Structure 1
């Protein structure tokens, strides 16, 4: 009952917050529109003999239109003990009213309120990816207990529980298929549009869609620790963190506001005595300066762009843990890659089979797989998998089998003696001349050679290799085109590393790396190139990921790699790294455009005011219009 009550409380709380987020931009927009209507009515009545009513309507427009921004400005000023741009706008509007410019002050409030409503709308737009993600997670699951089915809230599920997921339903929590087989749409997690076939023992993730068959899933993680929840937490965390540029702008804002207020104070007196302006004109120009010198557009130059880029990345399976990492990506000069599981698939595969003339390939491979099926070695598993997939035959049972640790396996079938293993386990001299020395050539290609002996004679050799991912070459070439130096770090021998490096197209490789060696290499690359990234997926990569300026983890990697990294590729899709760098560069370019544009507008408006060309309404339009344009320019990143 307590769990159910907590779940209901969480649901209600989340629902209330979601409702407030949906209502807020509409309430701000409604207040701005009502403010505009009151201003129009006040202006029309002011043309007649209804001065008092007109002023009353303007005061209402001030209160309704300016309440949200005034409240925000006062709260921030109290919290940070510093004045901000909201306070500048309110002071300018009040100052305009004091000297009798009710209409101009009200227009300032109206446009400021309208730009605030649009800013809230655009901020919510950039948060849309999180909202849509959260809506994908089911709230209930069909629990199977004592043969009975019971609907429960997902928060009530525990590790080991069995749940039923029917066709067309979303998977409620991470787990492993205990019964059934189906096809899963994992687009919400990996971004991959093609459905994935799933069988007994394979993992399924919360938020994915069961397309074809019913399946019973054993829960392997609590709801709070699912991959789906981690994605949401990562993006939420990234959106709450501020980049160095944003932090600088916010520090700059406090000092800038003080300078503006000091200059405005001087502007109230100096032009009257030095330039002969009237007191009304002097105060009026001071109020315009207060408006046009406000850094609203400058302050809005960075955060919307950063949030838009983070949301864009999340939609395409690239998770940034903060704006600082997104910003750093554009400065990368070199990237170091772990080999196994990153550049390669991480699992050996059979690449070549050479059989003694006169023997059947099918027979030799069937006997080899029958023997290797009794071993847990990764190479043995690769041989068994190859035979099952290509020959489609039943594995045999040897009469006897003997494992010789570090060398290979002996086995007996009726009237046949077989051995599988290293050259030294068979006969080194025979192995070297078998198939005209093919073993040496294959080993030079970075492949592992396994020999098969039948009744004292070498019958065949099998070459296996940790195969380079199909997309690796494309990913490396894209990075090279961006001017980035690529390095492979691996614990393999120099011969294997050289072959994989050549196939992967990386610029440089370092072989026989221990975890601590990878950290040393990362530091060496930093000394040589400056800002560098490390890409990895395993526990042994975590120290190097932490040492790099930007750590990038593969989504199928270990939990520690995901936690240590700054960027996560939800699908093991290496070309996404080049996309992330392009996104970072475009974001920084848009931020520069915004900053230059906003500074130019401020300078032009201030100059026009001093030359007495600019009236308050046009100053308001120029100032607030530039803010809106800056935000809209940032939103382009959502679609790039």
Structure 2
């Protein structure tokens, strides 16, 4: 396949929290009309048999239509159960049965239509890209970038394992990992975000996607996908529903609906022989009408649309679910594993306090900390300067001298002043060793410093010790800067909501246990795993699953791949490695770890929507029984007329009104099936009680009202 410059599926309607919501425009008349041809194509029995309930309705529609055509020639029965029915009755039943099948197909067609429109927009923008393939990567690393030998080929001809060179301004010709270099990449075609991102070799942010554009520098990319199997191909297949398979829950519900349908087919077939003992005849159109009213046609019509819409809601939030099973699993999650940095905290530690040593003025400590940070480009260094300015300490220009950058070996940074003297800030043990090079610290100083460092560490902060040496090399500890991971605003409330859902949250961090405990307490996390290694993550997931829990987690690195594969819901970041994206069953195009919380909500909304509409479908059959059964036998058994509690005008009108309501209610519920039932965090028992009250009772009441109103209209037709 040729790689593409593409436009991601977007939705202009954005929630206040930044997530995208389903457009109400998907339910307007224009979209319904556009989906109608697809609904008619689905009348093909080879497609309909996959939905047993609606297949039975279609068979009934075909049979009733045939009887309606034959009646003028055969003089078919015009009575049922001792009650006269009009000549147009069979045609009316046949027409509304066909509409019932079409409306059911329309629900699925509308759900699929939005995904197909998004897929079409991707296909239209696909253009072949020229790739500069290296003849041999080893020769490139030996000879250097300038003398490397490349051959221009079409991106469609790239094979797994090829190495390509991409320079500023060029499109990346295929999915891969950067194996050499660093570059700024425009990924707006995938994520919809205009801000460029940095991708580099040798880390967890090395993966790039075909169709995105390099904005700066030069990189070598190793192709990690075969032609026709790129990330964009998978995106197209997923958003149009071509790759969607029925989930285990859907299959189980389909089996239940098919079983109920078979039972009611047997019931309907035995009614006529039973009625014969009472000298009554039940016409075939009436039996078909009874069967359609008995079987759960509402949920049978909407079941597929609910599943498609659930995946579509994820796509609109820039999350690709590799299977419907993953979406359902998200709704059943009981344990949620989250990284601390970037998910619970902002990720950049901020200076929050200066703690001076005994005998050192606060101003002296602040000036030294600011002086050593003016040339420090890190977020921590900038936050120290900002905090110093907030304390009315002016240090606007870097002092003359040589900046000493932070290194993993020294674990310190600072400045060597041109006028003599040195200033350092860094880890406590590193600074103490630096000071002790000239003169050992006295015991009181060591105790005072240890007390301040321990106090900050126990409170979840990171201590940064500040010290100076004069021109003669005499050192002095000035104090400690408290750095703190800032917990994101509102995150505690979100975890409280998860707790109300019955979900246990676990924070995973490489920090020590003291820091992890403090952050977990502030954020409202249920538990934490400190100093976590990839093996620790995998062991924790297996332990939770062994206890009967379903586990979700996020990850972006190759070292996260085993845990992502083991988790029931593994959400890989799009910025992560190819290994992580292959291991997970969802990919977050925005690379926002907090979106895992939204994924859980969408999964629960999918399950609740399916349960609510199943409850409604079964409940509304009750009212149809009260409409159809008395109408069938009231002529033979007058006592049954007492069950006609809706006071329907005639048996024919009652049966036709029930069939009309059965068809119309499907169209009415299409928006709800696509949008989903609004989810509110609550325990399972409360959710069940609310659904039974709203959709159970509502499913009983609505048909009584609807059938009565339709009967008032039908009764105006001559003969009814």
Q: TM-score scaled by structure 1?
A: 0.68
Q: Check whether the contact 1:162–1:218 (CA below 8 A) recurs between aligned residues.
A: yes
Q: Check whether the contact 2:268–2:287 (CA below 8 A) recurs between aligned residues.
A: yes
State the distance in 2 between where 1:270 and 1:364 align.
Answer: 95
**Aligned: 1:267 with 2:268:** no
Q: Secondary structure at the match of 1:127?
A: helix
State the distance in 2 between where 1:216 and 1:156 align.
Answer: 25
- Equivalence for 1:504: 523
Q: Check whether the contact 1:312–1:639 (CA below 8 A) recurs between aligned residues.
A: no
Shift of 1:299: 1.6
Shift of 1:544: 4.2
Structure 2: give runs of 5+ residues left out of the alignment: 7-30, 77-86, 134-145, 387-394, 633-650, 680-720
- Equivalence for 1:17: none
Instruction: String of CA shifts for 1:523-569, please: whole Å, max 9, x gaps.
Output: 55557784443344444444444444433444444444443334444
State the distance in 2 between where 1:361 and 1:89 align.
Answer: 84
- Equivalence for 2:661: 622
State the distance in 2 between where 1:71 and 1:196 align.
Answer: 49
- Equivalence for 2:453: 439
**Aligned: 1:594 with 2:613:** yes
- Equivalence for 2:259: 255
Q: Secondary structure at the match of 1:628?
A: helix
Count of aligned residue pairs for this structure pair? 563
Instruction: String of CA shifts for 1:431-482, please: whole Å, max 9, x gaps.
Output: 6356795333222233444544522413555555555455644543443454
State the distance in 1 between where 2:396 and 2:489 align.
Answer: 24
Shift of 1:325: 3.2
Q: Check whether the contact 2:421–2:468 (CA below 8 A) recurs between aligned residues.
A: no
- Equivalence for 2:43: 69
Q: Secondary structure at the match of 2:43?
A: helix
Shift of 1:353: 6.0
Q: Secondary structure at the match of 2:106?
A: helix
- Equivalence for 1:581: 600
**Aligned: 1:570 with 2:562:** no
Shift of 1:242: 2.2
Instruction: String of CA shifts for 1:343-378, please: whole Å, max 9, x gaps.
Output: 3455666666668658686776666898x99xxxxx
- Equivalence for 2:475: 457
State the distance in 2 between where 1:181 and 1:551 align.
Answer: 27
Shift of 1:324: 3.1
Shift of 1:515: 3.6
State the distance in 2 between where 1:471 and 1:69 align.
Answer: 50
* Residue correspondence of structure 1 range 80-479 to structure 2 within 5 A: 84-99=56-71, 100=76, 103-104=91-92, 106-108=94-96, 110-112=98-100, 114-115=102-103, 118-128=106-116, 130-131=118-119, 134=122, 138-141=126-129, 155=156, 159-162=163-166, 165=169, 186=188, 189-190=190-191, 195-196=194-195, 218=219, 220=221, 222=223, 231-232=235-236, 240-271=244-275, 273-278=276-281, 281-344=282-345, 416=421, 422-423=428-429, 424-425=432-433, 426-427=435-436, 429=443, 432=446, 437-451=451-465, 452-454=467-469, 455-458=473-476, 460=478, 461=480, 464=483, 468-469=487-488, 472-473=491-492, 475-479=494-498
Shift of 1:315: 0.8
Shift of 1:247: 0.8
Instruction: String of CA shifts for 1:268-311, please: whole Å, max 9, x gaps.
Output: 4331x222124xx4434323334434543232232212211221
Q: Classify 1:597/1:476 alpha carbon distance in 2 versus 1 (closer, same or farther; 3 Å).
A: closer
- Equivalence for 1:55: none
Instruction: String of CA shifts for 1:310-350, please: whole Å, max 9, x gaps.
Output: 21221123433333333343444442323345434556666
Q: Check whether the contact 2:45–2:55 (CA below 8 A) recurs between aligned residues.
A: no
Shift of 1:522: 3.9
Q: Secondary structure at the match of 1:571?
A: coil
Instruction: String of CA shifts for 1:62-97, please: whole Å, max 9, x gaps.
Output: xxx8x86254368759xx9x9755334333433454
Q: Check whether the contact 2:574–2:588 (CA below 8 A) recurs between aligned residues.
A: yes
Q: Check whether the contact 1:73–1:86 (CA below 8 A) recurs between aligned residues.
A: no
**Superposition CA RMSD, Å:** 5.3
Q: Classify 1:87/1:595 alpha carbon distance in 2 versus 1 (closer, same or farther; 3 Å).
A: same
Shift of 1:571: 3.1
Q: Classify 1:603/1:502 alpha carbon distance in 2 versus 1 (closer, same or farther; 3 Å).
A: closer
State the distance in 2 between where 1:557 and 1:209 align.
Answer: 15
Q: Check whether the contact 1:342–1:554 (CA below 8 A) recurs between aligned residues.
A: no
Q: Check whether the contact 1:545–1:551 (CA below 8 A) recurs between aligned residues.
A: yes
Q: Classify 1:438/1:391 alpha carbon distance in 2 versus 1 (closer, same or farther; 3 Å).
A: farther
State the distance in 2 between where 1:337 and 1:398 align.
Answer: 37
Instruction: String of CA shifts for 1:478-518, please: whole Å, max 9, x gaps.
Output: 43454543222334322121222133221333434444443
State the distance in 2 between where 1:521 and 1:200 align.
Answer: 31
State the distance in 2 between where 1:442 and 1:31 align.
Answer: 65
State the distance in 2 between where 1:635 and 1:495 align.
Answer: 46
Q: Check whether the contact 1:369–1:383 (CA below 8 A) recurs between aligned residues.
A: no
Q: Check whether the contact 1:243–1:323 (CA below 8 A) recurs between aligned residues.
A: yes
Q: Check whether the contact 1:304–1:634 (CA below 8 A) recurs between aligned residues.
A: yes
Q: Classify 1:410/1:7 alpha carbon distance in 2 versus 1 (closer, same or farther; 3 Å).
A: closer
Shift of 1:244: 3.1
- Equivalence for 2:141: none
Q: TM-score scaled by structure 2?
A: 0.62
Greater helix fraction, Structure 1 or Structure 2: 1
Structure 1: give runs of 5+ residues left out of the alignment: 1-5, 12-23, 33-64, 374-380
- Equivalence for 2:676: 637
